[in-house]
Amino acid sequence: MKNNHKITILIPCFNEEKGIGKVIDAIPYTFLSHMGLQIEVIVIDNNSTDKTANIAKEKNVRVIHELKKGKGHALKTGFTSISDDTTLVVMLDGDNTYKAKEIPRLIEPLISNFCDVVIGSRLGGKVKMNSLKLPNRIANWGYTFLVRQFYGANTTDLLSGFVAWKKRVVDHLHPHLESEGFTIEMEMVTKMSKLGFEMYSVPITYDSREGFSKVDVLTDGIKVLHMLIKNLTWKPRNKSSDKFPFNTLSQSY
């Protein structure tokens, strides 16, 4: 197969010097090339104070910088940095909890036009010992249940940081994103549901992180719940142009 399509892999990072090199090294470059994909890796350095950016540069990937702290800021900057010739986009964290070697599992449903967005599911997949603590698991179960009930989103892991999109979905979603921090996953899923995109989950591996977690379960959990409730009444600014017809979305990626 000729390289007619391009995949851009976004890795938002804040002080991930222990994990970022492992994540980049695990990207299945050869396999993705055999699938007919050109590959670009973009590390978004979210104002790290360690060696994250230097390690990424040594791996010969593109490094961009977002000085405003917060995963939402970093990811939105990553979205604006995607090249026009990209057809598929993947996001995963730089702490090596998600396994980059599993990227082909996420993008296959997009390539076969099964859906528009694929969310890697930890709750439906393989969770390594002590990698997802009980309070986090319970909170995620609860949020996922509520989003399935009130938004009809067909996902089994709402807060997963391992996601793949058709690029035109990202183009359409990005202008609507407002989150600064860890509410970004909740905002994306609820708004993609409101915009009519088809989402499904695939099982993934989730491992113990390298380095220290930046998530505050209580504080960030309250913010995530607020985003869930807030977006129940959210509507696109321009209804005529902010919702693709499903027959357009299901065309070749």
User: What is the chain's mean pLDDT, rounded?
Assistant: 90
Confidence of residue 214 (pLDDT cuts 50, 70, 90): low
* Residues 16 and 52: beta-carbon distance below 8 Å: yes
CATH number 3.90.550.10 is the correct assignment for the domain at 5-249: yes
Q: Is 10 helix (H, G, I), strand (E, B) or coil?
A: strand
pLDDT band at residue 238 using 50, 70 and 90 as cut-offs? low
pTM metric for this prediction: 0.89
Residue labelled with tokens 């499903």: 246
Average pLDDT, integer, range 10-32: 97
Distance, CA of 20 to CA of 117 (rounded, Å)? 24
- 134: CB partners within 8 A, 6+ apart: none
* pLDDT, position 220: 77
Mean pLDDT of 223-245: 77
- Residue 3: pLDDT above 60? no
Of 126, 183, 117, the residue nearest 155 (C-alpha)? 117
Q: Where are the domains of the chain?
A: 5-249
pLDDT in tens, 63-120: 999 999 999 999 999 999 999 999 999 999 999 999 999 999 999 999 999 999 999 9
Q: What is the DSSP string of 108-165?
A: HHHHTTS-SEEEEEEEEEEEPTTSS-HHHHHHHHHHHHHHHHHH----S-TT-S-EEE
Q: What is the DSSP string of 162-208?
A: -EEEEHHHHHHHGGG----STTHHHHHHHHHHHTT--EEEEEEEE-P
